[in-house]
A and B are shown apart, each in its own frame.
Chain A
Amino acid sequence: MILPLRLEGISFRQIIAPLSLEIAAGPSTIILGANGAGKSVLMRLMHGLLRPTSGEIAWQGQGEERIRRGQAMVFQRPVMLRRSALANILYALELAGVPAAGRERQAMDALREVGLTEVAHRPARVLSGGEQQRLALARAWALHPEVLFLDEPTANLDPGATREIENVIKAFDASGTKIVMSTHNLGQARRLGDEVLFIHQGRLIERAAVDTFFRRPASAEAAAFVKGELPWV
Protein backbone atom coordinates (compact mmCIF):
# COMPACT_ATOMS: atom_id res chain seq x y z
CA MET A 1 0.00 0.00 0.00
CA ILE A 2 1.33 3.42 -0.92
CA LEU A 3 -1.72 5.41 0.18
CA PRO A 4 -2.43 7.68 1.94
CA LEU A 5 -0.67 10.44 0.03
CA ARG A 6 0.17 13.47 2.13
CA LEU A 7 0.91 16.94 0.74
CA GLU A 8 2.38 19.28 3.30
CA GLY A 9 2.65 22.98 2.47
CA ILE A 10 3.03 22.26 -1.25
CA SER A 11 3.50 25.23 -3.55
CA PHE A 12 4.53 25.49 -7.18
CA ARG A 13 5.86 28.83 -8.49
CA GLN A 14 2.93 31.27 -8.58
CA ILE A 15 0.51 28.59 -9.71
CA ILE A 16 -0.19 26.67 -6.53
CA ALA A 17 -0.35 28.53 -3.22
CA PRO A 18 0.91 26.50 -0.25
CA LEU A 19 -1.64 23.80 0.49
CA SER A 20 -1.81 20.71 2.64
CA LEU A 21 -4.08 17.76 2.16
CA GLU A 22 -4.28 14.03 2.49
CA ILE A 23 -5.60 11.63 -0.14
CA ALA A 24 -6.65 8.31 1.32
CA ALA A 25 -7.67 5.04 -0.29
CA GLY A 26 -11.35 4.49 -1.02
CA PRO A 27 -13.91 6.84 -2.54
CA SER A 28 -12.90 8.69 -5.67
CA THR A 29 -11.62 12.25 -5.48
CA ILE A 30 -12.53 14.86 -8.07
CA ILE A 31 -10.36 17.93 -8.43
CA LEU A 32 -12.73 20.59 -9.66
CA GLY A 33 -11.96 24.08 -10.87
CA ALA A 34 -12.00 26.45 -13.82
CA ASN A 35 -9.39 26.39 -16.57
CA GLY A 36 -6.11 27.70 -15.21
CA ALA A 37 -7.06 27.04 -11.58
CA GLY A 38 -4.06 24.73 -11.18
CA LYS A 39 -5.78 21.31 -11.34
CA SER A 40 -3.34 19.80 -13.82
CA VAL A 41 -0.31 21.16 -12.01
CA LEU A 42 -1.59 19.78 -8.71
CA MET A 43 -2.02 16.31 -10.22
CA ARG A 44 1.44 16.44 -11.80
CA LEU A 45 2.90 17.35 -8.42
CA MET A 46 1.12 14.38 -6.82
CA HIS A 47 2.23 12.02 -9.59
CA GLY A 48 5.83 13.23 -9.34
CA LEU A 49 6.10 14.76 -12.82
CA LEU A 50 6.76 18.18 -11.27
CA ARG A 51 8.80 19.03 -8.22
CA PRO A 52 7.14 21.38 -5.74
CA THR A 53 8.80 24.75 -5.20
CA SER A 54 8.31 24.21 -1.49
CA GLY A 55 6.68 21.68 0.77
CA GLU A 56 6.75 17.93 0.91
CA ILE A 57 4.95 15.09 -0.82
CA ALA A 58 4.93 11.84 1.08
CA TRP A 59 3.51 8.46 0.22
CA GLN A 60 2.92 5.79 2.79
CA GLY A 61 5.12 3.17 1.16
CA GLN A 62 8.89 3.06 1.04
CA GLY A 63 11.09 3.07 -2.04
CA GLU A 64 10.89 5.31 -5.10
CA GLU A 65 10.34 2.44 -7.54
CA ARG A 66 7.52 0.90 -5.53
CA ILE A 67 5.80 4.25 -5.17
CA ARG A 68 6.07 4.91 -8.91
CA ARG A 69 4.64 1.52 -9.80
CA GLY A 70 1.72 2.03 -7.46
CA GLN A 71 0.44 4.86 -9.64
CA ALA A 72 -0.56 5.50 -13.22
CA MET A 73 -1.74 8.61 -15.02
CA VAL A 74 -4.00 9.19 -18.00
CA PHE A 75 -3.57 12.55 -19.70
CA GLN A 76 -5.97 14.83 -21.48
CA ARG A 77 -4.32 13.96 -24.80
CA PRO A 78 -3.16 10.35 -24.87
CA VAL A 79 0.37 9.83 -26.20
CA MET A 80 0.65 6.58 -28.11
CA LEU A 81 3.79 5.10 -29.60
CA ARG A 82 3.91 4.24 -33.30
CA ARG A 83 3.23 0.57 -32.76
CA SER A 84 0.15 -1.57 -32.31
CA ALA A 85 -2.36 -0.98 -29.53
CA LEU A 86 -1.23 -4.23 -27.92
CA ALA A 87 2.46 -3.31 -28.20
CA ASN A 88 1.80 0.00 -26.46
CA ILE A 89 0.52 -1.89 -23.42
CA LEU A 90 3.33 -4.46 -23.61
CA TYR A 91 5.83 -1.59 -23.56
CA ALA A 92 4.30 -0.21 -20.36
CA LEU A 93 4.34 -3.66 -18.75
CA GLU A 94 7.99 -4.13 -19.72
CA LEU A 95 8.90 -0.80 -18.08
CA ALA A 96 6.96 -1.86 -15.00
CA GLY A 97 9.13 -4.95 -14.71
CA VAL A 98 6.37 -7.49 -15.45
CA PRO A 99 7.97 -10.82 -16.50
CA ALA A 100 7.78 -11.39 -20.27
CA ALA A 101 5.71 -14.57 -19.94
CA GLY A 102 2.72 -12.85 -18.36
CA ARG A 103 2.70 -9.62 -20.36
CA GLU A 104 0.60 -10.63 -23.36
CA ARG A 105 -2.20 -12.13 -21.29
CA GLN A 106 -2.25 -9.14 -18.95
CA ALA A 107 -2.36 -6.75 -21.91
CA MET A 108 -5.17 -8.62 -23.68
CA ASP A 109 -7.16 -8.68 -20.42
CA ALA A 110 -6.82 -4.91 -20.23
CA LEU A 111 -7.86 -4.45 -23.88
CA ARG A 112 -10.93 -6.61 -23.27
CA GLU A 113 -11.79 -4.52 -20.22
CA VAL A 114 -12.05 -1.36 -22.36
CA GLY A 115 -13.58 -3.11 -25.36
CA LEU A 116 -10.64 -2.81 -27.73
CA THR A 117 -9.88 -6.49 -28.35
CA GLU A 118 -10.65 -6.21 -32.07
CA VAL A 119 -8.12 -3.43 -32.67
CA ALA A 120 -5.31 -4.99 -30.62
CA HIS A 121 -3.08 -5.34 -33.66
CA ARG A 122 -3.96 -2.04 -35.32
CA PRO A 123 -1.41 0.80 -35.09
CA ALA A 124 -2.36 2.84 -32.03
CA ARG A 125 -1.96 6.21 -33.73
CA VAL A 126 -4.60 5.54 -36.37
CA LEU A 127 -7.30 4.80 -33.78
CA SER A 128 -9.94 7.46 -33.13
CA GLY A 129 -9.50 9.94 -30.28
CA GLY A 130 -11.97 8.06 -28.09
CA GLU A 131 -10.32 4.71 -28.82
CA GLN A 132 -6.88 6.13 -28.06
CA GLN A 133 -8.12 7.42 -24.72
CA ARG A 134 -9.63 4.01 -23.94
CA LEU A 135 -6.30 2.48 -24.92
CA ALA A 136 -4.59 4.85 -22.50
CA LEU A 137 -6.97 3.57 -19.82
CA ALA A 138 -6.21 -0.02 -20.80
CA ARG A 139 -2.50 0.73 -20.54
CA ALA A 140 -3.10 2.03 -17.03
CA TRP A 141 -5.42 -0.88 -16.21
CA ALA A 142 -2.79 -3.45 -17.19
CA LEU A 143 -0.42 -1.94 -14.63
CA HIS A 144 -2.92 -2.58 -11.78
CA PRO A 145 -2.11 0.73 -10.09
CA GLU A 146 -3.23 1.46 -6.58
CA VAL A 147 -3.90 5.08 -7.57
CA LEU A 148 -5.00 6.31 -11.00
CA PHE A 149 -4.62 9.99 -11.85
CA LEU A 150 -6.84 11.24 -14.67
CA ASP A 151 -6.26 14.73 -16.04
CA GLU A 152 -9.44 15.86 -17.78
CA PRO A 153 -9.60 12.56 -19.64
CA THR A 154 -12.67 13.46 -21.70
CA ALA A 155 -12.02 17.14 -22.42
CA ASN A 156 -11.37 16.47 -26.12
CA LEU A 157 -14.05 13.84 -26.70
CA ASP A 158 -17.61 13.77 -27.97
CA PRO A 159 -20.48 12.68 -25.66
CA GLY A 160 -20.48 9.07 -26.89
CA ALA A 161 -16.78 8.58 -26.32
CA THR A 162 -17.05 10.42 -23.01
CA ARG A 163 -19.68 7.95 -21.81
CA GLU A 164 -17.47 5.00 -22.74
CA ILE A 165 -14.51 6.52 -20.89
CA GLU A 166 -16.65 7.19 -17.84
CA ASN A 167 -17.79 3.57 -17.81
CA VAL A 168 -14.19 2.39 -17.79
CA ILE A 169 -13.38 4.79 -14.97
CA LYS A 170 -16.33 3.39 -12.99
CA ALA A 171 -14.97 -0.12 -13.55
CA PHE A 172 -11.58 1.04 -12.29
CA ASP A 173 -13.25 2.48 -9.22
CA ALA A 174 -15.20 -0.73 -8.65
CA SER A 175 -12.01 -2.79 -8.87
CA GLY A 176 -10.60 -0.92 -5.88
CA THR A 177 -8.27 1.50 -7.62
CA LYS A 178 -8.25 4.93 -6.03
CA ILE A 179 -9.42 7.47 -8.64
CA VAL A 180 -8.07 11.02 -8.54
CA MET A 181 -9.52 12.94 -11.48
CA SER A 182 -9.50 16.56 -12.51
CA THR A 183 -12.35 18.00 -14.51
CA HIS A 184 -14.22 21.23 -15.07
CA ASN A 185 -17.30 19.30 -16.11
CA LEU A 186 -19.81 19.39 -13.25
CA GLY A 187 -21.96 16.60 -14.60
CA GLN A 188 -18.95 14.35 -14.77
CA ALA A 189 -17.93 15.27 -11.24
CA ARG A 190 -21.37 14.24 -10.01
CA ARG A 191 -21.40 11.01 -12.02
CA LEU A 192 -17.95 9.82 -11.00
CA GLY A 193 -17.02 11.60 -7.80
CA ASP A 194 -17.47 10.80 -4.15
CA GLU A 195 -15.68 13.85 -2.82
CA VAL A 196 -14.69 17.14 -4.42
CA LEU A 197 -11.57 19.22 -4.00
CA PHE A 198 -12.44 22.66 -5.32
CA ILE A 199 -9.43 24.62 -6.56
CA HIS A 200 -9.61 28.31 -7.34
CA GLN A 201 -6.59 30.38 -8.47
CA GLY A 202 -4.16 27.84 -7.08
CA ARG A 203 -5.84 27.57 -3.70
CA LEU A 204 -7.76 24.70 -2.18
CA ILE A 205 -11.01 26.48 -1.36
CA GLU A 206 -13.25 23.64 -0.36
CA ARG A 207 -13.25 19.91 0.24
CA ALA A 208 -16.61 18.22 0.57
CA ALA A 209 -18.69 15.21 -0.37
CA VAL A 210 -20.12 15.58 -3.88
CA ASP A 211 -23.74 15.98 -2.73
CA THR A 212 -22.89 18.56 -0.13
CA PHE A 213 -20.67 20.47 -2.54
CA PHE A 214 -23.32 20.84 -5.19
CA ARG A 215 -26.25 21.41 -2.84
CA ARG A 216 -24.63 23.75 -0.33
CA PRO A 217 -21.25 25.03 -1.50
CA ALA A 218 -19.58 26.60 1.53
CA SER A 219 -17.58 29.27 -0.26
CA ALA A 220 -18.66 32.11 -2.52
CA GLU A 221 -16.19 30.97 -5.22
CA ALA A 222 -17.59 27.43 -5.30
CA ALA A 223 -21.15 28.74 -5.34
CA ALA A 224 -20.34 30.96 -8.32
CA PHE A 225 -18.60 28.11 -10.12
CA VAL A 226 -21.47 25.68 -9.59
CA LYS A 227 -24.00 28.27 -10.64
CA GLY A 228 -22.05 29.63 -13.58
CA GLU A 229 -21.30 26.26 -15.02
CA LEU A 230 -24.68 24.63 -14.66
CA PRO A 231 -26.24 25.81 -17.93
CA TRP A 232 -23.56 23.96 -19.93
CA VAL A 233 -23.56 20.67 -18.04
Chain B
Amino acid sequence: MSELGGIVALSLTVSLLAVLFASLLGLPLGAAIAVGRFPGRRALIVLLNALMGLPPVVVGLLVYLLLSRAGPLGEFGLLFTPPAMVIAQTILVLPIIAALCRQSVEDAWVEYEEQLRSLGAHGLSAALTLVWDIRFSLVTAVLAGLGRALAEVGAVIIVGGNIDGVTRVMTTTIALETSKGDLPLALSLGFILISLVILINAVAYLIKEAAQRRYG
Protein backbone atom coordinates (compact mmCIF):
# COMPACT_ATOMS: atom_id res chain seq x y z
CA MET B 1 0.00 0.00 0.00
CA SER B 2 2.87 2.40 0.78
CA GLU B 3 4.15 1.57 -2.68
CA LEU B 4 0.83 2.75 -4.08
CA GLY B 5 1.11 5.92 -1.99
CA GLY B 6 4.54 6.56 -3.48
CA ILE B 7 3.19 6.17 -7.00
CA VAL B 8 0.34 8.62 -6.35
CA ALA B 9 2.72 11.09 -4.67
CA LEU B 10 5.20 10.95 -7.55
CA SER B 11 2.41 11.48 -10.09
CA LEU B 12 1.23 14.57 -8.25
CA THR B 13 4.74 15.93 -7.69
CA VAL B 14 5.83 15.56 -11.31
CA SER B 15 2.63 16.99 -12.78
CA LEU B 16 2.29 19.85 -10.30
CA LEU B 17 5.91 20.89 -10.86
CA ALA B 18 5.44 20.71 -14.63
CA VAL B 19 2.31 22.88 -14.38
CA LEU B 20 4.15 25.34 -12.13
CA PHE B 21 7.01 25.76 -14.61
CA ALA B 22 4.66 25.84 -17.60
CA SER B 23 2.58 28.53 -15.87
CA LEU B 24 5.62 30.66 -15.04
CA LEU B 25 6.64 30.57 -18.70
CA GLY B 26 3.27 30.22 -20.42
CA LEU B 27 1.17 32.89 -18.71
CA PRO B 28 3.54 35.80 -19.53
CA LEU B 29 4.11 34.35 -23.00
CA GLY B 30 0.40 34.08 -23.73
CA ALA B 31 -0.22 37.59 -22.38
CA ALA B 32 2.63 39.07 -24.41
CA ILE B 33 1.26 37.52 -27.61
CA ALA B 34 -2.23 38.78 -26.74
CA VAL B 35 -1.15 42.37 -26.20
CA GLY B 36 1.80 42.61 -28.59
CA ARG B 37 1.67 43.55 -32.26
CA PHE B 38 4.55 42.07 -34.26
CA PRO B 39 5.08 40.37 -37.62
CA GLY B 40 4.22 36.67 -37.59
CA ARG B 41 1.85 37.08 -34.65
CA ARG B 42 -1.05 35.32 -36.33
CA ALA B 43 1.12 32.43 -37.44
CA LEU B 44 2.42 32.12 -33.89
CA ILE B 45 -1.14 32.00 -32.51
CA VAL B 46 -2.11 29.26 -34.96
CA LEU B 47 1.05 27.32 -34.07
CA LEU B 48 0.42 27.71 -30.34
CA ASN B 49 -3.18 26.53 -30.73
CA ALA B 50 -2.01 23.58 -32.79
CA LEU B 51 0.60 22.66 -30.19
CA MET B 52 -2.18 22.18 -27.64
CA GLY B 53 -2.73 18.89 -29.39
CA LEU B 54 0.92 17.88 -29.23
CA PRO B 55 1.10 14.06 -28.98
CA PRO B 56 2.70 13.10 -25.65
CA VAL B 57 4.73 10.28 -27.24
CA VAL B 58 6.30 12.75 -29.67
CA VAL B 59 7.26 15.08 -26.82
CA GLY B 60 8.59 12.05 -24.96
CA LEU B 61 10.67 11.05 -27.96
CA LEU B 62 12.13 14.54 -28.43
CA VAL B 63 13.02 14.91 -24.76
CA TYR B 64 14.44 11.38 -24.85
CA LEU B 65 16.73 12.39 -27.74
CA LEU B 66 17.77 15.54 -25.88
CA LEU B 67 18.56 13.77 -22.61
CA SER B 68 19.96 10.46 -23.87
CA ARG B 69 23.66 9.78 -23.33
CA ALA B 70 24.56 10.92 -26.85
CA GLY B 71 22.12 13.86 -26.83
CA PRO B 72 22.99 17.55 -26.32
CA LEU B 73 21.96 17.41 -22.64
CA GLY B 74 23.18 13.85 -22.07
CA GLU B 75 25.95 14.84 -19.68
CA PHE B 76 23.46 15.75 -16.94
CA GLY B 77 22.32 12.11 -16.70
CA LEU B 78 18.65 13.07 -16.38
CA LEU B 79 17.10 10.33 -18.52
CA PHE B 80 14.92 7.90 -16.54
CA THR B 81 14.68 10.28 -13.57
CA PRO B 82 11.70 12.31 -12.27
CA PRO B 83 13.30 15.60 -13.47
CA ALA B 84 13.22 14.25 -17.04
CA MET B 85 9.48 13.58 -16.60
CA VAL B 86 8.96 17.13 -15.31
CA ILE B 87 10.78 18.54 -18.36
CA ALA B 88 8.70 16.48 -20.79
CA GLN B 89 5.40 17.40 -19.14
CA THR B 90 6.37 21.06 -18.95
CA ILE B 91 6.87 21.09 -22.72
CA LEU B 92 3.58 19.27 -23.19
CA VAL B 93 1.57 21.60 -20.96
CA LEU B 94 3.22 24.92 -21.89
CA PRO B 95 1.30 25.43 -25.18
CA ILE B 96 -2.03 24.63 -23.48
CA ILE B 97 -1.53 27.20 -20.74
CA ALA B 98 -0.04 29.80 -23.09
CA ALA B 99 -2.76 29.41 -25.74
CA LEU B 100 -5.67 29.53 -23.27
CA CYS B 101 -4.06 32.47 -21.46
CA ARG B 102 -3.57 34.28 -24.78
CA GLN B 103 -7.28 33.95 -25.52
CA SER B 104 -8.40 35.15 -22.07
CA VAL B 105 -6.01 38.11 -22.03
CA GLU B 106 -7.01 39.10 -25.54
CA ASP B 107 -10.70 39.13 -24.55
CA ALA B 108 -9.89 41.22 -21.47
CA TRP B 109 -7.67 43.56 -23.51
CA VAL B 110 -10.72 44.63 -25.52
CA GLU B 111 -12.27 45.89 -22.29
CA TYR B 112 -9.13 47.38 -20.70
CA GLU B 113 -7.09 48.68 -23.62
CA GLU B 114 -8.25 52.28 -23.78
CA GLN B 115 -8.13 52.77 -20.04
CA LEU B 116 -4.67 51.25 -19.66
CA ARG B 117 -3.27 53.15 -22.61
CA SER B 118 -4.79 56.35 -21.26
CA LEU B 119 -2.98 55.73 -17.97
CA GLY B 120 0.26 55.09 -19.84
CA ALA B 121 0.59 51.29 -19.50
CA HIS B 122 1.89 49.46 -22.53
CA GLY B 123 3.76 46.38 -23.64
CA LEU B 124 4.81 43.95 -20.97
CA SER B 125 3.64 46.08 -18.06
CA ALA B 126 0.12 46.19 -19.50
CA ALA B 127 0.24 42.44 -20.18
CA LEU B 128 1.24 41.59 -16.61
CA THR B 129 -1.40 43.93 -15.20
CA LEU B 130 -3.99 42.09 -17.28
CA VAL B 131 -2.76 38.65 -16.22
CA TRP B 132 -3.00 39.63 -12.56
CA ASP B 133 -6.42 41.19 -13.04
CA ILE B 134 -7.96 38.14 -14.72
CA ARG B 135 -6.09 35.69 -12.49
CA PHE B 136 -9.31 33.94 -11.49
CA SER B 137 -10.20 33.19 -15.10
CA LEU B 138 -6.69 31.90 -15.73
CA VAL B 139 -7.26 29.20 -13.13
CA THR B 140 -9.15 27.37 -15.87
CA ALA B 141 -6.13 27.46 -18.19
CA VAL B 142 -3.85 26.14 -15.48
CA LEU B 143 -6.33 23.38 -14.59
CA ALA B 144 -6.55 22.31 -18.23
CA GLY B 145 -2.77 21.98 -18.18
CA LEU B 146 -2.82 20.01 -14.96
CA GLY B 147 -5.46 17.66 -16.28
CA ARG B 148 -3.35 17.00 -19.35
CA ALA B 149 -0.21 16.39 -17.28
CA LEU B 150 -1.85 14.01 -14.81
CA ALA B 151 -3.62 12.04 -17.53
CA GLU B 152 -0.85 11.54 -20.08
CA VAL B 153 1.22 8.38 -20.22
CA GLY B 154 3.20 8.62 -23.46
CA ALA B 155 5.76 11.22 -22.43
CA VAL B 156 6.48 10.00 -18.90
CA ILE B 157 6.83 6.38 -19.93
CA ILE B 158 9.42 7.21 -22.62
CA VAL B 159 11.61 9.59 -20.61
CA GLY B 160 10.89 8.05 -17.20
CA GLY B 161 11.08 4.40 -18.19
CA ASN B 162 8.40 3.30 -15.69
CA ILE B 163 11.08 2.10 -13.22
CA ASP B 164 9.54 0.54 -10.11
CA GLY B 165 9.98 2.86 -7.13
CA VAL B 166 11.78 5.54 -9.14
CA THR B 167 9.77 6.82 -12.08
CA ARG B 168 6.57 4.79 -11.86
CA VAL B 169 3.48 7.00 -11.80
CA MET B 170 -0.25 6.28 -11.88
CA THR B 171 -0.74 6.26 -15.63
CA THR B 172 2.33 4.13 -16.36
CA THR B 173 1.28 1.67 -13.64
CA ILE B 174 -2.20 1.41 -15.15
CA ALA B 175 -0.69 0.70 -18.58
CA LEU B 176 1.65 -1.91 -17.13
CA GLU B 177 -0.90 -3.70 -14.93
CA THR B 178 -3.41 -3.80 -17.78
CA SER B 179 -0.90 -5.50 -20.05
CA LYS B 180 0.01 -7.90 -17.23
CA GLY B 181 -3.68 -8.73 -16.81
CA ASP B 182 -4.08 -7.32 -13.28
CA LEU B 183 -7.25 -5.50 -14.18
CA PRO B 184 -8.54 -4.89 -10.60
CA LEU B 185 -5.35 -3.01 -9.65
CA ALA B 186 -5.38 -1.05 -12.93
CA LEU B 187 -9.03 -0.17 -12.41
CA SER B 188 -8.60 0.95 -8.81
CA LEU B 189 -5.63 3.12 -9.80
CA GLY B 190 -7.73 4.61 -12.56
CA PHE B 191 -10.42 5.34 -10.02
CA ILE B 192 -7.91 7.07 -7.72
CA LEU B 193 -6.58 9.14 -10.63
CA ILE B 194 -10.02 10.35 -11.68
CA SER B 195 -11.00 11.10 -8.07
CA LEU B 196 -7.86 13.18 -7.57
CA VAL B 197 -8.49 15.20 -10.71
CA ILE B 198 -12.09 15.87 -9.66
CA LEU B 199 -10.98 16.85 -6.17
CA ILE B 200 -8.34 19.31 -7.43
CA ASN B 201 -10.82 20.86 -9.84
CA ALA B 202 -13.50 21.16 -7.17
CA VAL B 203 -11.16 22.93 -4.76
CA ALA B 204 -9.87 25.26 -7.48
CA TYR B 205 -13.43 26.07 -8.55
CA LEU B 206 -14.53 26.91 -5.01
CA ILE B 207 -11.52 29.17 -4.48
CA LYS B 208 -12.15 30.89 -7.79
CA GLU B 209 -15.82 31.39 -6.98
CA ALA B 210 -15.11 32.85 -3.54
CA ALA B 211 -12.44 35.16 -4.94
CA GLN B 212 -14.71 36.34 -7.73
CA ARG B 213 -17.45 37.18 -5.25
CA ARG B 214 -14.93 39.10 -3.19
CA TYR B 215 -13.28 41.10 -6.00
CA GLY B 216 -16.07 41.27 -8.58
Contact = CB atoms under 8 A, between A and B. Distances in A.
Interface string A129-162: 0000000000100000000000000000000000
Given A49-B114, A79-B111, A124-B216, 9 more contacts: A44-B114, A49-B117, A68-B120, A75-B115, A79-B114, A83-B133, A92-B119, A96-B120, A123-B214
The bracket for how many chain A residues form the interface is 20 to 34
Contacts, number: 47
B69 to A, nearest CB: 50
Nearest to A93: B119
A125 B215 CA distance: 6
Nearest to A143: B119
A126 B216 contact: yes
Interface in A31-47: 44, 47
Interface string B167-199: 000000000000000000000000000000000
Contacts of B119: 91-92, 95-96, 139
Contacts of A79: 111-112, 114-116
Contacts of A123: 214-216
Given A123-B216, A126-B216, A81 B133 contact: yes
A69 interface: yes
Interface of B: 111-112, 114-121, 125, 129, 133-136, 214-216
| B-side interface mostly | helix
| Max count, chain B CB within 10 A of own CB: residue among A44, A68, A82, A139 | A82
Interface string A57-87: 0000000000011001101001101110000
Contacts of A95: 119-121, 125
Contacts of A83: 133, 215
Contacts of B135: 82
Given A79-B112, A81-B129, A81-B133, A49 B215 contact: no
B144 to A, nearest CB: 22
Give the 7 A-B residue pairs with the shortest CB-CB distance, closest first: A125-B216, A79-B115, A126-B216, A82-B215, A95-B120, A123-B215, A73-B118
7 contacts: A47-B118, A68-B120, A72-B118, A75-B118, A79-B116, A83-B215, A123-B216
A229 to B, nearest CB: 27
Contacts of A91: 119, 129
Contacts of A44: 114
A124 B133 CA distance: 12
Contacts of B215: 82-83, 123, 125-126
A96 B121 CA distance: 9
B120 A82 contact: no
A82 B119 CA distance: 16
